[in-house]
């Protein structure tokens, strides 16, 4: 029987677990202030646990749905947790209007999720998962099974373009959220800027890839590109205008 166990003393989250689950998130987590790092890391692992429940083939679908319902009740509205956590633990955030910032934070999260969906489409399709709404596929006379053929990309292109634009609109809200973070909270700013830059770079690759549906082709940033953007953001952190200009430059490079 599926149960939620609440330990009386929260265990430390091993960095090795986070590093093995997501290289880019681990880098982001490491730069956060120490007094919120463990909580944010735990929130991320909870989100990954939900993904595992949703994606596993080891449990029948009806049982998975039941477990996901229990999980959702236990971790209610996880998208807002990071914002309210910062307001509670970081004095510089005490003047924030929580409600509108939570709304922006939710869209920020949706941008990152949609970026992952577009990047991972070939692998997900081969695991029997299609996260592109059927209504959108109907508009271009496609079925999920058709996307298993790499040559279906031209027919999918109008749908892909729409989804790229949605992802960018959500990222714009994430950028506004990030620029609203108090300047003296340098670590928190970096922890938001890095994922946005990584996401827009990934969206650019998705938009330009001629073989997006080919499972043998990997659409992701190189390690060198990751560290370059990290260094650039760190070096210009004190100038929001420069950073916004760089974000805008990358945004324009997404072909949609």
Kindly report the CATH number assigned to the domain that includes residue 47. 1.10.600.10
Position 82 confidence tier, pLDDT thresholds 50, 70, 90: low
Better-scored residue on pLDDT, 200 or 35:
200
Which residues neighbour 251 within 8 Å (Cβ) at sequence distance 6 or greater? 168, 171, 172, 200
Cα–Cα distance measured from residue 208 to residue 119, given in angstroms and rounded to the nearest whole number: 12
Better-scored residue on pLDDT, 188 or 213:
213
H helix intervals, the chain = 15-21, 23-31, 34-55, 61-74, 81-89, 98-119, 121-125, 134-139, 153-179, 186-208, 223-235, 240-252
What's the pLDDT score for residue 83? Answer: 61
Mean pLDDT on 116-142: 93
Cα–Cα distance measured from residue 163 to residue 114, given in angstroms and rounded to the nearest whole number: 8
- 218 in any annotated domain: yes
Mean pLDDT on 22-46: 74
pLDDT reading at 166 higher than 80: yes
What's the pLDDT score for residue 68? Answer: 80
33 and 188 Cβ atoms separated by less than 8 Å: yes
Output the average pLDDT for the chain: 83
Position 186 confidence tier, pLDDT thresholds 50, 70, 90: confident
Listed residue (92, 2, 91) closest to 52, CA to CA: 2
Cα–Cα distance measured from residue 225 to residue 41, given in angstroms and rounded to the nearest whole number: 24
Mean pLDDT on 4-17: 48
90 and 185 Cβ atoms separated by less than 8 Å: yes
What's the pLDDT score for residue 119? Answer: 95
What's the pLDDT score for residue 8? Answer: 37
Listed residue (97, 87, 94, 81) closest to 39, CA to CA: 81
Q: Which two tokens stand for residue 135?
A: 């209504």
In percent, the amount of the chain with pLDDT more than 70 equals 83
- 170 in any annotated domain: yes
Q: What is the DSSP letter of 211?
A: T
What's the pLDDT score for residue 37? Answer: 76
Domain of 82 in residue numbering reads as: 15-252
Lowest mean pLDDT among 20-34, 119-133, 161-175: 20-34
What's the pLDDT score for residue 87? Answer: 63
- 242 in any annotated domain: yes
What's the pLDDT score for residue 62? Answer: 84
Mean pLDDT on 189-213: 94
What's the pLDDT score for residue 143? Answer: 96
- 188 in any annotated domain: yes
What's the pLDDT score for residue 101? Answer: 86
Domain count, the chain: 1
- 1 in any annotated domain: no
Q: Is 213 helix (H, G, I), strand (E, B) or coil?
A: coil
- 63 in any annotated domain: yes
Mean pLDDT on 61-89: 67
What's the pLDDT score for residue 23? Answer: 65
What's the pLDDT score for residue 157? Answer: 97
Q: How far is CA 64 from CA 31, 43, 94, in A?
A: 35, 20, 39
Q: How far is CA 229 from the centre of its chain?
A: 17
- 160 in any annotated domain: yes
pTM of the model: 0.77
What's the pLDDT score for residue 187? Answer: 87
- 5 in any annotated domain: no
């Amino acid at each position: 029987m599926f149960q939620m166990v609440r330990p009386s003393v929260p265990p430390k989250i091993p960095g090795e677990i986070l590093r093995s689950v997501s290289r880019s998130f681990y880098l982001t987590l490491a730069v956060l202030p120490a007094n919120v790092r463990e909580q944010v890391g735990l929130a991320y692992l909870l989100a990954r646990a939900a993904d595992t429940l949703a994606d596993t083939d080891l449990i029948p679908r009806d049982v998975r749905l039941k477990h996901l319902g229990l999980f959702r009740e236990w971790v209610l509205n996880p998208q807002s947790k990071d914002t309210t956590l910062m307001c509670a633990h970081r004095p510089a955030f005490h003047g924030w209007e929580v409600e509108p910032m939570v709304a922006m934070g939710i869209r920020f999260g949706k941008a990152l999720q949609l970026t992952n969906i577009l990047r991972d489409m070939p692998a997900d399709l081969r695991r029997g998962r299609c996260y592109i709404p059927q209504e959108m596929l109907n508009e271009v006379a496609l079925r999920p099974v058709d996307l298993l053929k790499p040559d279906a990309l031209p027919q999918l292109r109008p749908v892909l373009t729409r989804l790229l634009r949605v992802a960018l609109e959500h990222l714009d809200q994430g950028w506004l959220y990030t620029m609203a973070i108090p300047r003296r909270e340098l670590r928190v700013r970096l922890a938001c800027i890095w994922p946005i830059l990584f996401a827009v770079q990934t969206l650019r690759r998705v938009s330009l890839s001629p073989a997006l549906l080919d499972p043998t082709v990997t659409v992701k940033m190189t390690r060198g590109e990751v560290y370059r953007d990290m260094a650039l953001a760190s070096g210009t952190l004190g100038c929001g205008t420069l950073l916004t200009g760089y974000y805008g430059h990358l945004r324009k490079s997404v072909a949609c």
